[in-house]
Amino acid sequence: MSTLESCIMSARTPFLTTTAFAVSSIFWLSGCGGGNEATETASDDSGAAATTTAGTSKAGDSTTPKKHYAPVQLGSGPDTTDTNGGGSTASSKPHSINDVIAALKPLQIVMGKWEGVFKNGGVGETHDWVWDLQTDKKYPALAVSAPDGNFFTKARITYDPASSKFRMETVDKEKVVRKFEGGWEEEPAEVPADDGKSFYRTFKLKLTEVANKDLSHRWEYVFSQQNNNRYQLYASRAAGSSSRFALRDVLGSQRSGTSFAQSDDDYGERTCIISQGLGTISVSYQGKSYYVCCTGCKAAFEDDPEMWIARFEEMKAEKKK
């Protein structure tokens, strides 16, 4: 290389270095580099959504993630499903309806009709529980009808796998819709009966109304299953968004007629094809008979029999493994 060429290259080197630095800076600021932080969602012990930021806050802290916590809410996002008429608002995170049905299975002991009386002496009411698999097909539910209900005339309880919470929506006589969320106050258990052969199902499920600025008060309900034929509903009320609930009344309910789905035992050919409870209604498809446990399951089966039959056969195959 000649002396002249060496001088030219020496003069160009600072210019090229400065240009490269400027270009790389532009790319970094526009997101083509480490500036566009990746995030992932986790959850803490309280069930809140935790967003972890992969970026760093300062030099020397490259391994410490930032976490921003926000409550997990059904219907919080552009792809949510919001159903009316006793339905529930639920997150759109993909899940299997089998997950929802499995979570609700301990509750299906309430299937059927119940006669209730209030501890404070008010007029009693009748509850009629069925499976609801059609209002929101992504979120099957246990639905109750209480035409003369003092607290609600109908309610729908489902489960959200994304937040691991039970969700309930009620409608009262004034057509006011209320939304609840919660979980087990006492886990489901099988308690031996006096005869030493059979078992009773017990649990306590607490559901608290989500604060709503448009309502003057909110409710909290505890469904307390005493045994296969008796449960109590504790109704408490708080003013506005207060967290201090005061017990208003207790409804004691006794099962009317035959007991439905009393345990998770295999009922043989009388197993409900949908809930796996005790089948009480016969249905048929292409000349073959099956059983369902309630009118809700019957309606769902008739709507899509091939889907429910395929699911049932898969579950039976799994049990044989």
Give me the DSSP letters along 20-39. Answer: HHHHHHHHHHTTSSTTS--E
Average pLDDT value over all residues in the chain? 75
pLDDT tens readout for residues 64-77? 333 332 333 333 33
Contacts of 7 (CB under 8 A, 6+ apart): none
Domain 90-256 has CATH 2.40.128: yes
Say if residues 201 and 109 touch (Cβ distance below 8 Å): yes
Please report the pLDDT score of residue 92 as a whole number. 57
pLDDT at 95: 83
Instruction: Give the model confidence (pLDDT) of 265-278 as tens digits.
Output: 567 788 899 988 88
The predicted pLDDT at position 79 comes to 35
Q: How far is it, in rounded angstroms, from Cα 106 to Cα 223? A: 12
pLDDT tier at 91 (50, 70, 90 boundaries)?
low
pLDDT in tens, 31-47: 333 333 333 333 333 33
| Res 197: pLDDT | 77
Give the mean pLDDT of 117-146. 92
89 by Cβ neighbours in 10 Å (0-12 / 13-18 / 19+) ranks as buried
Q: Using the predicted structure, report yes or no on whether residue 171 has a pLDDT greater than 60.
A: yes
| Model confidence at 7: pLDDT above 50 | no
The residue among 300 and 88 whose pLDDT is bigger is 300
Q: Which residue has the tokens 């034929």?
A: 229
Which range of 14-28, 113-127, 151-165, 276-290 scores highest in mean pLDDT? It is 151-165
Burial degree of 51 (CB within 10 A; 0-12, 13-18, 19+)? middle
**Beta-carbon count within 10 A of 311 CB:** 17
pLDDT more than 70, % of the chain: 68
pTM value > 0.95: no
Question: Which of 128-137, 224-233, 249-258 is least confident?
Answer: 249-258
Q: Where are the domains of the chain?
A: 90-256, 268-320
